[in-house]
Amino acid sequence: MDESKVAVLLEDLRSQFRTFGDGLQGLNDKIDDQGRVLGEKIDAQSRRIDAQGLRIEALDKKIDAQGKALTEKIENQGRELTEKIEALDQKVDAQGKALTEKIETLDKKVDAQGKALTEKIDTLDKKVDALDLRLTARMDKFEAANSRDHRLIVQMIKEISDEQQKIKQAQ
């Protein structure tokens, strides 16, 4: 072969290598962009999870505070009821049968208050259970979303890896 043909052939090969290098650079830029996008999505999900954690902590504190307040109310009412019963017992001893009927009436009222308190406590228990279910459902939802995002990221990484393998094989 003469030198001019070799030079033309070399120039053609150089041109093809430049085109291939430009394409490879474009692919690398695309992979870098995808990595940044994935990183931003992961960061956003982390911030959302952190925010949900803070909300759950706040709800826990609120529930604890309400539970303490209810416990104090119940204890106070229990003490008040105990004091009333003791006072009534003293009056019953002092006044005899006439006051016995009044004490029975008061005992019925105390039972009614106890039932009312029991119903209120049951209602609060149901509300706490409902909150717990809602929180659990939200956590399950966030875990499912994170799992889905993780699968997408792994799939994208695999696709990028496959493309790189194809490029290497093509070389």
pLDDT in tens, 7-17: 888 888 888 88
Residue 22 is predicted with a pLDDT of 80
CA-based nearest residue to 86, from 144, 94, 29, 119: 94
CB-based contacts of 99: which residues, under 8 Å, 6+ apart?
A: 88, 91, 92
pLDDT averaged over 10-residue windows placed end to end, the chain, 171 residues: 80 83 84 89 90 91 91 91 87 70 85 90 90 86 83 86 85 69
Residue 141 is predicted with a pLDDT of 84
Can you read off the two tokens belonging to residue 115?
A: 């039932």
How many residues are there in the chain? 171
Main-chain phi, psi angles of 2, to 5 degrees? -90, 165
Can you read off the two tokens belonging to residue 162?
A: 């496959």
Residue 80 is predicted with a pLDDT of 92
Count up the domains in the chain and report the number: 1
In terms of residue numbers, what domain contains 25?
Answer: 3-170
Q: CA 27 to CA 61: how far, in whole Å?
A: 51
Based on DSSP, count helices (H) and strands (E) in the chain, helices before strands. 2, 0
Residue 73 is predicted with a pLDDT of 92
Q: Is 137 helix (H, G, I), strand (E, B) or coil?
A: helix
